[in-house]
Structure 1
Amino acid sequence: MALRMLNSTYSYLLNQQQAVTLKGYHAIGHNAKANILPYLTGSQSFDEKVYLWEQFAEEGYLTAYAEDFSNFSSKNEQFRSSLQHMDYYFKSFLSVAETVGNCDSTGNERHQNLLESLNKFLSLHKANNYLAWWYSHESPSLEQIYHADPDYMNYFKREFEKGTFKNTLVVIGSSYGARYTQLKTTVTEQFLPLHLLVFPQWFKKHYKQLYATFQSNAENSLTSGFDMHKTLLDVLNLDSAAVPNKQKEGTKGQSLFRTILHSRTCEQAGIIKELCVCDQDKLTTQ
């Protein structure tokens, strides 16, 4: 669905910035929690887990978190407590956004406010190592997504041309696809959400084998949030990731910088059976 509604943004990132699309990236569960937690913690539970930003902070990274609704972060005490240790937590932005509705007093929409807050953070800290997690909980109409496409495209075009992301691994994705819409969608649009990454040019030159392995896995392997968690942890120690190390077959949570079997099953990737697109006939009839 993103390819239809965000065509300009997707085309720019793919053609001008050589974005790598995870063609087999699969939703793990039915809701945002089921799909986000494995990404952040490597687990499907809130309780007593170490979050991705805590691990990056231990390595000296600045950490930042922003969202357009606080309903996700406010529902669990352990998750909320983790956010309190962020270097930047845009809680005041959340309060204003929820008070004024979809637009603020200047006429900006939620997605524009998120982009503006990200831009301000990056303008101050682009010279630092950072992990910035910007998340939209809003479930906009397809018309709203289509309307936002030029804003996203122009933002990325401007910031890439300015060199804002020259040392940044940019990850853009959705926790799950278009499931609640009047527009007819395919099974893959529902359960294979958009997920793509833009690598810095220096990374592709310095870590040629890691990049080649990532591209192969992105093109041919079934992947999920469990795998992206492991992949981002490898970013903390790329030299170690570059050492050949065969991953245990059949386990969920495998780094895309290391070879993942192309014959991997949904069960092996941690995806519940009822969502698995490998059984499309069953899904289509539900």
Structure 2
Amino acid sequence: MVSQLFTVPRVSFILTVCILFSLALNLIYNNPDEKFRRNLRKYGRRDIQNFIVRSIQVRENYGRCVFPYTLTDAQGVYQPDRKTTCKRRSCRSKSGWVLCSENKCYIRKLLTESKGKIDCVFTDIIRTSDRKVGYGIPHRNFQQYLLNSSDFVKVQCNASNGDRWAGDVIGTRPILVPKSADDKPKNDKFNVFILSLDSLTKTDFLQKLPKTYWFLKQQLGAVEFRGFNTIGNIRSQNLIGMLTGQTELELPETRKASPRSSHLDVYPMIWKTFRNDGYITAFNEDSIREGVLNSQHKDFLEQPTDHYLQTYLTEKKQYFSNSTECCFSNYQRHQILFDYTSKILSGERNKSKFILNVHDVTSSDNLFVLDHDIFNFLFDLQEKEALSRTIFILVSNTDQPLNQNNVPLEEKLNQRILFASVVLPLQFQKQFPQEYSNFQNNTNSLITSFDIHATLEHVLQLQNNQSEGLRSCRTRSISLFKQIPHYRSCAHAHIEPHLCSCLGETPININRVILMGAENIVDTVNTFLEPYWKFCRSVTLSGVIDAVKLAPQKALLQYKKLDDVIGYIPNLSGSTIVRNEWYQIQVAINASTEAQSIIEGIVRHDLWKDIFETKIKDIVLKEGGIGPHCLAKVGKPMLKKLCICKEIN
């Protein structure tokens, strides 16, 4: 009887059922949505929020912020966490038959001479949702088509010689601003244009986008902020902080995996404030996959801004189901983003605009090509004078790697420092001189996305003659047009310890390392003076005044990975490879001469090679010191503080 029950076929069937059942349980248990729900049940949103607040308020997180100089000057190596979504291919093909200028779309004049009479049918692409589009009524036209319902149109043309063409064109339909703002003088406010480059750290930006960086600094006069620190483990947390001034946990639940969650429409996005103040608004991402916001959050029910590139990309997804194509309508996706932005910013000059663009650099086929295209894009905007009344903000954004156990300290620090630069119109600088002075003095301060949000609010308040109000150091959101205290810490800025890139200060006795570091400071100064040897003498070390060791927080060194799929609970059981140590050393030079100086430098000590590198932080002429008479006409303040003139007969 037993042998009949356990025959080979039956045993095989039972084993198969058991294996399938265990696989099903494993899939259910490891499903991201189910993991999210388990994390919520285990911690709860309020518990996670309280955990973050407690971790931020630890004593170590209140230390004054000092940045390791290598994050500013070193050239990083671009290693994206994800594979590029674009195949290497050319996007070039024949030019389209139809062009759009603002809301007017017309047939190219030269074509009618070579092809004869051309008959075109225009069909608007209408947004239904973030994942679905509809189409308007087809319109047949021989001359031009006016955009009223959409910025995006499908076109099919037939020429009398038998040639045919089909494609898409993009323009900008006219936008009616709120009536309450229509009564205000036209074009009396500055445009605001934000370009966010995703999957890019600061050192990545410096190495892979050198032409863009040069144009920002040399041609546009951009002010770079050295201490732009991430506030989140994933990109959406930084973007949400900039758009709302709040953390994701402080806002209504919008995660797809969370039961009874709301859509992103409930967020108090900053573009709503600009819209109410009479601005035309635009939010454009060029990702054919999930965007930064809707990858984990529910889509927008209503179109969030006046101009919205997602509608066009949604229509294109049906043709590129594998989501790996670079090219739409003969252009790379980032080029479509730039062209669309140029049309928005250059059109309707009598109305102010707020534009937020997000480009994921992993979708670019070649970052050097992207660098060239951004350079041309900014050059084109400058030539059109579209930036003359525009506050232009360029920032980078990135996720923290999935696993940071046993990685070099520099790599961890690099992942937490992002690029940030701001271009202010000359008229803004003249109109608000005190705010501009504060702005320039904040370039070495610790800032976050919360501060950019406060700055955007302050722009509106300044233009509306409203007081921004005083904000203390303990306020996590401080406008860049207000003076940010030099002693601001990661705790003040609401940065968790494992995300804080600041180095804390620990007093240290003078030892061999400090003396060698002091000598390296002097060597660095003499190397700087070398081109001016005909006029300036070499400096000599008189002594070490003070020295402190700079070290990151323990939480950063111990950070391994995230313990939850929500993106907030850090696992601090890891370790870090420490190859370099930093010291801040004050030295006295030229004590026996009239040009006595105190130099403060940040010295990096490579523990593996036992070599030193220095960045001069500050130079102070002691009382009684004088500047060099031989370089009176040289406009280099640092050189004038260091040079001791030779006696020339």
Is TM-score (shorter-chain normalized) higher than 0.5? Answer: yes
Cα deviation for residue 36 of structure 1 reads 0.7
Cα deviation for residue 140 of structure 1 reads 4.5
User: TM-score normalised to the size of structure 1?
Assistant: 0.87
1:241-286: per-residue Cα shift (whole Å, max 9, x none)? 8969532221201111111111111111111110111246454617
Mapped pair 1:169 → 2:387: no
Q: Would the aligned equivalents of 1:68 and 1:136 in 2 still touch at CA under 8 Å?
A: yes
Mapped pair 1:230 → 2:449: no
1:47-69: per-residue Cα shift (whole Å, max 9, x none)? 24311011111111111111012
Query: Aligned equivalents of 1:270 and 1:91: distance in 2?
Result: 32
**1:177 and 1:23, CA in 2 relative to 1: closer, same or farther beyond 3 A?**
farther
Aligned equivalent of 1:21 = 224
Query: Aligned equivalents of 1:34 and 1:50: distance in 2?
Result: 15
Query: Aligned equivalents of 2:499 and 2:316: distance in 1?
Result: 33
1:15-43: per-residue Cα shift (whole Å, max 9, x none)? 11110111111111111111111100011
Moved more, 226-235 or 167-176: 167-176
Mapped pair 1:52 → 2:270: yes
Q: Would the aligned equivalents of 2:326 and 2:363 in 1 still touch at CA under 8 Å?
A: no
Q: Would the aligned equivalents of 1:246 and 1:259 in 2 still touch at CA under 8 Å?
A: no
Aligned equivalent of 1:71 = 291
Mapped pair 1:84 → 2:303: yes
SS of equivalent residue, structure 1 residue 214: helix
The one-letter code matched in structure 2 to 1:28 is: I
Aligned equivalent of 2:424 = 199
Q: Rg bigger for which structure?
A: 2
Aligned equivalent of 1:278 = 502
**1:278 and 1:157, CA in 2 relative to 1: closer, same or farther beyond 3 A?**
same
Query: Aligned equivalents of 1:30 and 1:176: distance in 2?
Result: 9
Q: Would the aligned equivalents of 1:67 and 1:94 in 2 still touch at CA under 8 Å?
A: no
Mapped pair 1:150 → 2:150: no
Select 1:189's aligned residue among 414, 422, 432.
414
The one-letter code matched in structure 1 to 2:237 is: A
1:203-245: per-residue Cα shift (whole Å, max 9, x none)? 111111111101111x221000001001001111215789695
Select 2:343's aligned residue among 120, 139, 147.
120
Query: Aligned equivalents of 2:467 and 2:457: distance in 1?
Result: 15
Cα deviation for residue 130 of structure 1 reads 1.1
The one-letter code matched in structure 2 to 1:89 is: Y
SS of equivalent residue, structure 1 residue 80: coil
Moved more, 111-120 or 240-249: 240-249
Mapped pair 1:36 → 2:259: no
Query: Aligned equivalents of 2:393 and 2:411: distance in 1?
Result: 24
Q: Would the aligned equivalents of 2:212 and 2:375 in 1 still touch at CA under 8 Å?
A: yes
Query: Aligned equivalents of 1:89 and 1:54: distance in 2?
Result: 14
1:97-140: per-residue Cα shift (whole Å, max 9, x none)? 54544422544222112111112222323431111111124534
Q: Would the aligned equivalents of 1:241 and 1:257 in 2 still touch at CA under 8 Å?
A: no
The count of corresponding residues between Structure 1 and Structure 2 is 279
Give unpaired runs (5+ residues) of structure 1: none
Query: Aligned equivalents of 2:428 and 2:325: distance in 1?
Result: 38
Aligned equivalent of 2:518 = none
Aligned equivalent of 1:258 = 482
Query: Aligned equivalents of 2:386 and 2:236: distance in 1?
Result: 31
Cα deviation for residue 71 of structure 1 reads 3.4
Query: Aligned equivalents of 1:244 and 1:225: distance in 2?
Result: 18
Mapped pair 1:103 → 2:326: yes
**1:55 and 1:245, CA in 2 relative to 1: closer, same or farther beyond 3 A?**
closer
1:81-109: per-residue Cα shift (whole Å, max 9, x none)? 4x624211222222255454442254422
Give 1 or 2: higher helix fraction: 1
Query: Aligned equivalents of 1:16 and 1:105: distance in 2?
Result: 31
SS of equivalent residue, structure 1 residue 64: strand
Q: Would the aligned equivalents of 1:210 and 1:242 in 2 still touch at CA under 8 Å?
A: no
Q: Would the aligned equivalents of 1:177 and 1:194 in 2 still touch at CA under 8 Å?
A: no
**1:172 and 1:102, CA in 2 relative to 1: closer, same or farther beyond 3 A?**
farther
Cα deviation for residue 201 of structure 1 reads 1.0
Structure with the larger RCO, 1 or 2 (CA within 8 Å, 6+ apart): 1
Query: Aligned equivalents of 1:239 and 1:168: distance in 2?
Result: 13
**1:205 and 1:80, CA in 2 relative to 1: closer, same or farther beyond 3 A?**
same
User: TM-score normalised to the size of structure 2?
Assistant: 0.40
Query: Aligned equivalents of 1:68 and 1:97: distance in 2?
Result: 11
Select 1:12's aligned residue among 215, 219, 242.
215
Select 1:211's aligned residue among 433, 436, 439.
436
**1:153 and 1:138, CA in 2 relative to 1: closer, same or farther beyond 3 A?**
closer
SS of equivalent residue, structure 1 residue 171: strand
Give 1 or 2: higher strand fraction: 2
SS of equivalent residue, structure 1 residue 72: coil
Q: Would the aligned equivalents of 1:177 and 1:192 in 2 still touch at CA under 8 Å?
A: no
Moved more, 150-159 or 117-126: 117-126
Q: Would the aligned equivalents of 1:73 and 1:80 in 2 still touch at CA under 8 Å?
A: no
The one-letter code matched in structure 2 to 1:71 is: G
**1:231 and 1:147, CA in 2 relative to 1: closer, same or farther beyond 3 A?**
same
SS of equivalent residue, structure 1 residue 169: strand
Q: Would the aligned equivalents of 1:209 and 1:242 in 2 still touch at CA under 8 Å?
A: no
SS of equivalent residue, structure 1 residue 173: strand
Query: Aligned equivalents of 1:261 and 1:63: distance in 2?
Result: 33
Give unpaired runs (5+ residues) of structure 2: 1-203, 253-265, 403-407, 504-550, 558-575, 578-649
Cα deviation for residue 14 of structure 1 reads 0.5
